[in-house]
Amino acid sequence: MNTHMNAHLGADTGTPPVSPDPAKGPRLDWLDTLRIALITLVVAHHCAQAYGPADWWYVEGGPRTGVLATLSALDGTFFMSLFFFVSAYFVPASYARRGGRSFVRGRLLRLGVPVLAGALTLVPGLMYAYYAHYRGYPDISFPRYFADVYLGLGERPADWTGPSWPDLQFGHLWFIQNLLAYSLLYALCRLVARSVRRSPAPVATPGPLPPRRVPGHLAPVALTVVLTGATFAVRVRYPLDTWVPFLDFLQVEPARVPQYAAFFVLGILARRGDWLDRLPARTGWTWLWIGLAGAVLLFAVGADAPFFAAGGANGASLLWSGADSLLCVALCTGLLVLFREKARWNTRFSRSLAADSFAMYVIHVPIVVALQFAVAGHGLPALGAFALVTACAVPAGFAAAHALRRIPGFRRVL
């Protein structure tokens, strides 16, 4: 259950886990902490890709363990949905402060530029390393690979092994790409709504709406039921880890779209209704315990248990769609309250890490893959290699991100 686009092309700070416009103020310090925790989890998730799940990855042939396969499956149930939620939380205020046209320009700069730059630099480098190590074709230079194989300007080999032709993809940058698409769709909806109202007046800054009833326990239950039905319906045709190009550019994993889209919308609603401050702690703690119990059960049975299926019109697929949706709702709800209640930190170091998290997301995979290649062949067990790579990748990634953002011009988009 890989967040990497394995079979196809794959702010205003621009930070993916949070929005491109992090709000200031002590009451939102905990969102910075959550942002740091989530980006660290993303790095660990990709560190585990070489040692656990059967998904395609840039490094092959290493030791594997079912524990890391299950960890990858658990991560996949909730962490990207939580990214979309927290990112969307800041979108309404950003739109209102900047106006529609400036909002769109800012998103294209802060999200679009890193996607295109990464797809022309970082990702081809990763794919070239895979080509050179595992495909078994005659050695070619990187410029020739980039033109003939990555861009597909050369002739496709008769015995091409894939995963797709050409190698052009967006890799882990799919999230930024999808976030950009959701943000532009939000801007379009605001424009349509304004046209319907036929109001020439500027849109007022969207502060919290008049007090409304905060969602209680029934709301997560209903959301779980709806997501279960939607994800099962989609996975009948598109199993997990099936990536498809939309409009020949936007790379999506349809099996996860119901969750991602729902949590992006919920993030916007949470901002308008001030849910993050008003959600009762008791509700969050209850759902956190439900999520943790589900996680323990998942590890007990293993993600490869026969009654879990990645897709299809069968009972196992329905069961996993339900479990997946429940874990998503429970852990997202619980973690939001956990960090709100227990992680209200505000230090210079934490602010620096949070500010660097977008750059960390963009550049971390080459660092992870380089470390995975470095430890290969040293006889480490899967868990040992995973622990070593993660322990090195996280500080190295943050250090590289911090240094990169100090280069003139880079800070504007990172």
- Residue 252 DSSP SS3: strand
pLDDT digits (tens, 9 = 90+) for 103-118: 999 999 999 999 999 9
Query: Is pLDDT at 165 greater than 60 in this prediction?
Result: yes
Total number of domains constituting the chain: 1
Q: Which residues contact 89 (CB under 8 A, 6 or more apart)?
A: 18, 19, 31, 267, 268, 270, 271, 276
- Distance (Å, rounded) from C-alpha 9 to C-alpha 115? 12
350, part of any domain: yes
Tell me phi and psi for residue 203, to 5 degrees: -70, 130
Query: Is pLDDT at 338 greater than 70 in this prediction?
Result: yes
Predicted confidence band of residue 203 (pLDDT cuts 50, 70, 90): low
- Which pLDDT value is given to residue 377? 87
Polymer length in residues for the chain: 414
Averaged pLDDT, 31-50: 95
Query: Is pLDDT at 17 greater than 70 in this prediction?
Result: no
- Which pLDDT value is given to residue 212? 62
Distance of CA 225 to the CA centre of its chain: 23
Lowest mean pLDDT among 8-17, 82-91, 156-165, 322-331: 8-17
The percent of residues in the chain predicted with pLDDT above 70, rounded, is 88
- Following CA atoms 24, 81, 68, 285 in sequence, which dihedral angle do they give, to the nearest 10 degrees? 70
Give the tokens for residue 5. 């686009």
- Distance (Å, rounded) from C-alpha 347 to C-alpha 335? 21
By the 10 Å C-beta count (0-12 exposed, 13-18 middle, 19+ buried), 383 is classed as middle
Averaged pLDDT, 245-266: 90
Query: Is pLDDT at 60 greater than 60 in this prediction?
Result: yes
307, part of any domain: no
47, part of any domain: yes
Q: Report the 10 Å Cβ neighbour count for 120.
A: 13
Predicted confidence band of residue 410 (pLDDT cuts 50, 70, 90): confident
- Which pLDDT value is given to residue 198? 63
Q: Domain range for residue 194?
A: 26-69+80-208+243-271+344-404
263, part of any domain: yes
Lowest mean pLDDT among 19-33, 167-181, 251-265: 19-33
Please compute Rg for the chain using Cα positions.
21
Predicted confidence band of residue 10 (pLDDT cuts 50, 70, 90): very low
Averaged pLDDT, 11-23: 42
Q: Mean pLDDT of all residues in the chain? A: 87
By the 10 Å C-beta count (0-12 exposed, 13-18 middle, 19+ buried), 230 is classed as middle
- Which pLDDT value is given to residue 249? 76
- Distance (Å, rounded) from C-alpha 360 to C-alpha 208? 32
Query: Is pLDDT at 413 greater than 60 in this prediction?
Result: yes
119, part of any domain: yes
From residue 205, alpha-carbon distances to 5, 34, 93, 104, 213 in Å are 37, 26, 6, 17, 22
Query: Is pLDDT at 15 greater than 90 in this prediction?
Result: no
319, part of any domain: no
325, part of any domain: no
- Which pLDDT value is given to residue 54? 85
Helices 281-301 and 66-89 meet at what angle, rounded to 10? 150
Averaged pLDDT, 52-68: 91
Whether the ω angle into residue 395 lies within 30 degrees of 0, i.e. cis, is no
> pTM of the full predicted structure?
0.88
- Distance (Å, rounded) from C-alpha 125 to C-alpha 127? 5
- Distance (Å, rounded) from C-alpha 208 to C-alpha 354? 25
Query: Is pLDDT at 216 greater than 80 in this prediction?
Result: no
- Distance (Å, rounded) from C-alpha 412 to C-alpha 390? 28
Predicted confidence band of residue 135 (pLDDT cuts 50, 70, 90): confident
Alpha helices in 247-314 (DSSP H): 257-273, 275-278, 281-301
Averaged pLDDT, 218-237: 95
In the chain, DSSP finds a helix count (H) and a strand count (E) of 15, 2
57, part of any domain: yes
